[in-house]
Chain A
Amino acid sequence: MSEPLAIETVDLQKRFDATDALRGLNLRVPQGSIFGFLGRNGAGKTTTIKLLLGMARPTAGQARVLGLSADDAAASVTIRTRTGFVDENKVLYDYMTVEEIIRFTAAFYPGWRRDLEKRYLQSFELPLHQKTTALSLGMRSKLSLLLALCRGVELLVLDEPTSGLDPAASEAVLQTLVTHVSTERLTVFLSSHHLADVDQIADHIAIIDAGRTVVSGDLEDLRARYRRVQLVFTGDAPDITFHTPGVVRVRRQGRVMTALSNAGSDALIEEAMRFGPVSADVLPVTLKEIFLESVALED
Chain B
Amino acid sequence: MLWQKAWLETRGRFLAGLAISVIVGFGVIYDFRATERLLPLVRNMDPGALDTTGPIGAAIKEGIAAQQTFRGFVWWQWYRQNLTYLVVIFGALLGAGGLLARSGGATLFTLSLPVSRNRLIGTRAVIGLAELLAIAIVPSLVLPLLAPSIGQSYSVIDVMVHGAFMFVVGSVFFSLAALLSNDYTDMWRPVLIACIVAAALGMLEYVPAISPYGIFHVMNGETYYRHAGVPWIGLLISTGISAALLRTAAVNLAHRDF
Is A74 a contact partner of B116 (Cβ separation < 8 A)? yes
- Interface SS of A by simple majority: loop
Q: Are A85 and B4 in contact (CB under 8 A)?
A: no
Question: In the complex the two chains form, what is the Cα distance from A83 to B113 in whole Å?
Answer: 9
Residue contact B9 to A95, C-beta cutoff 8 Å: yes
Mask of B1-34 contacts with A, CB within 8 angstroms, 1/0 = 1001100110000000000000000000000000
**A residues near B257, Cβ cutoff 8 Å:** 16, 50, 55-57
**Residue pair A104, B5 in contact (C-beta under 8 Å):** yes
Contacts of A50 in B (CB 8 A): 108, 257-258
Say whether, besides A50-B258, A57-B257, A73-B254, A91 and B115 are in contact (CB < 8 Å): no
Point out the residue from A83, A85, A95 that lies within 8 Å of B8, measured CB to CB: A95
B104 on interface, CB distance cutoff 8 Å? yes
- CB contacts between A and B, total, < 8 Å: 67
A96 to B109, CA, bound (A): 13
Is B106 at the interface (CB under 8 A from chain A)?
yes
B8 close to A96 (CB less than 8 A): yes
A91/B112 contact (C-beta < 8 A), A73-B254, A104-B4 known: no
Contact A93-B116, Cβ < 8 Å, known A73-B254, A87-B109: no
Task: Known contacts A80-B113, A108-B115; decide if A92 and B106 are in contact (CB<8 Å).
Answer: yes
| CB neighbours of B103 from chain A (8 A) | 91, 93-94
Q: Is B229 an interface residue (CB 8 A)?
A: no
Interface flags, A73-104, vs B, CB<8A=1, else 0: 11001101101010101011111100000011
Nearest A-chain residue to B102, judged by Cβ: A95
For B8, the chain A residues whose CB sits under 8 A away are 93, 95-96
A54 within 8 A of B: yes
Q: Identify which of A77, A95, A96 contacts B115 (C-beta below 8 A).
A: A77
Q: Please tell me if the beta carbons of B106 and A53 are within 8 angstroms of each other in the complex.
A: no
**In the complex, what residues of A have CB within 8 A of residue B258's CB?**
50, 55-56
Give the 6 A-B CB pairs with smallest separation, nearest first.
Answer: A91-B105, A85-B112, A56-B257, A107-B1, A81-B114, A80-B114
A-B contact pairs, 25 of them (CB 8 A): A50-B108, A50-B257, A53-B112, A54-B111, A55-B112, A56-B257, A57-B257, A73-B117, A77-B114, A77-B116, A80-B113, A81-B114, A83-B112, A87-B108, A87-B112, A89-B105, A91-B104, A92-B106, A93-B106, A94-B104, A94-B106, A95-B9, A104-B1, A104-B4, A104-B5
Q: Which residues of B contact A (CB under 8 A)?
A: 1, 4-5, 8-9, 103-106, 108-109, 111-117, 254-255, 257-258
